[in-house]
Amino acid sequence: MSTKKGGSCSCLMKFLFIATLAIAIFLGFDQVIDRFYIFDQNVLHEVAKRNIEAYEGKNDTRGLINSIAQDLAKEYPGHVSIKEDWVFNNAGGAMGSMWILHASLTEYVIIFGTAVGTEGHTGRFFADDYFMILEGEQWAYQAGALDRDVYRPGESHHMARGVVQQYKIPERAWALEYARGWIPLMLPFGTFDMIFSTIDYVTLYNTFRITGKAMISELLQGKI
């Protein structure tokens, strides 16, 4: 009996040591994570606004988003994919599709939106998220707010780290989205609906395929 107790105690101590070490490493890296960022949310916002103005009245959504991708590829050479490779995303009860322009351990840049509208939970993350509206509208509010915030083309919805909201795209909208922080910690929120709700393992595979390929490519360039 004493041997079993001793073994259990030893396993618990090992677990606590590993957990404490992992937390310490995480907190240490968290203090310097901004050193790994290469994108600037203000630059991305300016690129978005410039292209919105250039395509105003043309009714050419694909032309707009492709022009943004081309501009970002010039602004950040070697770090932006200009190949359209769309995949659905189900997260927090909302559904849309996305084109991953950049994915690394500390940042992602995507075109995200829906042609039919959606609504759901934003998620709560160790990351800042900037949702820059290209077309349509996004509505959002925090718990306790009695009125919604409305974001229109050219405007950026900043979701600060740790903040959570309910959001809605009433009809259709497309946005340039940029997140900076601990991106791998966002993956459970972005994939669990596909695993346990939609059971869409083809989309799940494609999500990991595209994201994994992009992250490995960035690591090979020394980008964390």
Residue 103's nearest CA partner among 164, 166, 178, 169 is 178
Q: What is the pLDDT, as a whole number, of residue 17? A: 67
- CA–CA distance, 80 with 207 (Å, rounded to integer): 17
Average pLDDT, integer, range 149-175: 97
pLDDT tens track for 110-132:
999 999 999 999 999 999 999 99
Q: In whole angstroms, how far apart are CA 192 and each of 7, 199, 223?
A: 35, 9, 27
Mean pLDDT of the chain: 92
Q: What is the pLDDT of residues 27-70, one digit of tens each?
A: 666 777 889 999 999 999 999 999 999 999 999 999 999 999 99
- Given this model, what pLDDT does residue 193 score? 95
Quote the pTM value. 0.89
Are the beta carbons of 179 and 127 closer than 8 angstroms?
yes
